[in-house]
Each structure stands twice: as C-alpha cells, then as structure tokens.
C-alpha cells in the first residue's frame, strides 16, 4: 500500500491537485499489488489511510493541494518507544495535539502497556514500569489515536521516525498504513530559523519555548508545535497552500532561504 499511496499523491500533485475518477481508478489498478485486489476496495483503504482526498462529481481532489496552510489542521505527534526498531520494539507512549491557525484545538495522550522496558529507556524518559502497569494494550490504544489523527497533516520533529514507527504499528494491529501527508519540523526550522543546532532540546532553549519536560511524548509534541508556529511565521509569502508548505521543507536549504529574502 505504501508505494500505491505515494504514487497516487504524486500523480494528483502532477495533475494540479485533481484528476478524473476514471483516471484515478486506472492509477489504482496499475499500482495494486495483485490483479485480484478490488479497485473500489483499495480506494476505500486509501481514503481510510488518511490521504486527504475527496471524490466530487467524478473527480478526485487532493485537498491539501488547494487548502491554505493557515486553514490546515496539523497533528503534532511524538512517541516514546522501548527500542528504535519497529519490528522488535513497541510504542510505550503517544502524545499529540491538533494545531490550527495558532491554536491547540484538541489533544491526545496515552501510555501503552508493554512487557519489557529497558533501564536506559527509563533513564531517558523517566517512564517507569509501574507507569505502564495499568495502561491500555497497544492494540486498544492505537485505534483511538487513528481516530484522533483522521486526515490531518502528520507533524513531528524528525517526522520519518514517528511516522514510520506508527505506520508499522498500525499494520501490525490490522489498522492499515498511514497515508497522511507529513511535515518535519526539523526541516521547516532549518529553512526558516537561524540556530546553531536543530535538535528539539536545543530549540526549546534557543527559541525561549522553555517546555520544562523533555523526552516525554506530549511535552515534546508541545515543543514541536511551538517550533512549527515560529517556522510558519517566517515562511516566504509565495508559500500559501499546505502542499506548497510541504514542498518548501524539501527544497535545498539555500534555495529555501533565498525565497524568504
């Protein structure tokens, strides 16, 4: 599903954010893993994955291509895990908040039970085995987070780690993969903020965010949301839509900075 979702998003962007339903179905059929997979079912799975598309009058529209970023809902996420490899580790905490036009409009925070918590993880995070004793099983917590996330833009500091870990966890529990558009606050900061380093701990101090807790999921998500807010204030005027914002964070740094001058 990952290659299919990425391919569909790229095709929609290349065609100006929309394409006919017939062409979309043809693209789904071409990108499916097996000829036995039903195209209409795959389209339902693509929509359920969080890819922000809507079908309107026989056309498929990538909503983030047209939506002004000022009107976008960003879901800023941070996770704590008991290891760094999704295949051998698990999420022990998710903290997330929905941010829109300078305001936090919703929040999500939960531990997840696990059978093994290494001492070094407790040292880093301050999370102890007893904190997880009464926590919900991961398989019961993740559907609630999936519902919370919806089709919002997935934002995190070093976004690929959180995004891929959660996507793998979703697949493990039969929830499909993540198809949400994603945005990295490290890459945004590198193009909009002058700093010696771009780790979240350093930016927390350097930008006078001063979140008191570090390496806890909701606190780090809150810090990342402040980095997002500061970065957005420094965007060039030419960046107006959500997809333009995502593309801006992928430009060479010198080119991105030149656009701001």
**Rounded to an integer, what distance in angstroms lies between the CA atom of residue 150 and that of residue 240?**
23
Model confidence at 175: pLDDT above 80: yes
Q: What residues pair up with 111 in beta bridges, in sequence order?
A: 93
Question: Which element (helix H / strand E) includes 254?
Answer: helix 253-260
pLDDT at 91: 98
Question: Which element (helix H / strand E) includes 253?
Answer: helix 253-260
Mean local confidence (pLDDT), 191-208: 96
**Rounded to an integer, what distance in angstroms lies between the CA atom of residue 11 and that of residue 21?**
13
Model confidence at 261: pLDDT above 90: no
- The 10s digit of each residue's pLDDT in 15-50 is 999 999 999 999 999 988 877 689 999 999 999 999
pLDDT at 100: 96
Nearest Cα residue to 231 out of 157, 164, 163, 162: 157
pLDDT at 215: 81
Q: Which residues contact 203 (CB under 8 A, 6 or more apart)?
A: 189, 193, 195, 197, 209, 223, 227
**Rounded to an integer, what distance in angstroms lies between the CA atom of residue 121 and that of residue 215?**
10
């Amino acid at each position: 599903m990952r290659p299919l979702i990425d391919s569909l998003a790229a095709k929609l962007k290349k065609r100006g954010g929309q394409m006919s339903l017939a062409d979309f179905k043809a693209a789904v059929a071409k990108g499916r893993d097996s000829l036995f997979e039903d195209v209409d079912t795959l389209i339902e799975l693509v929509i359920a994955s969080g890819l922000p598309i809507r079908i309107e009058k026989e056309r498929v529209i990538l909503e983030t291509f047209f939506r002004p970023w000022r009107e976008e809902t960003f879901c800023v996420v941070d996770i704590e895990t008991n290891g760094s490899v999704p295949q051998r580790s698990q999420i022990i905490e998710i903290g997330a908040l929905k941010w829109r036009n300078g305001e936090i409009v919703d929040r999500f925070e939960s531990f997840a039970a696990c059978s093994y918590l290494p001492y070094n993880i407790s040292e880093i995070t301050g999370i102890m085995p007893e904190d997880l004793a009464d926590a919900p099983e991961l398989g019961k917590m993740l559907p609630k987070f999936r519902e919370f996330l919806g089709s919002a833009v997935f934002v995190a500091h070093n976004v690929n780690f959180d995004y891929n870990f959660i996507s793998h966890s979703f697949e493990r529990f039969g929830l499909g993969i993540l198809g949400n558009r994603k945005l990295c606050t490290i890459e945004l900061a590198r193009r909009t903020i002058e700093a010696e380093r771009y780790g979240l701990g350093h930016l927390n101090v350097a930008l006078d965010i001063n979140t008191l807790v570090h390496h806890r999921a909701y606190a780090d998500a809150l810090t990342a949301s402040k980095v997002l807010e500061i970065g957005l204030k420094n965007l060039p005027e030419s960046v107006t839509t959500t997809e333009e914002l995502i593309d801006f964070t992928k430009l060479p740094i010198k080119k991105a900075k030149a656009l701001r001058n």
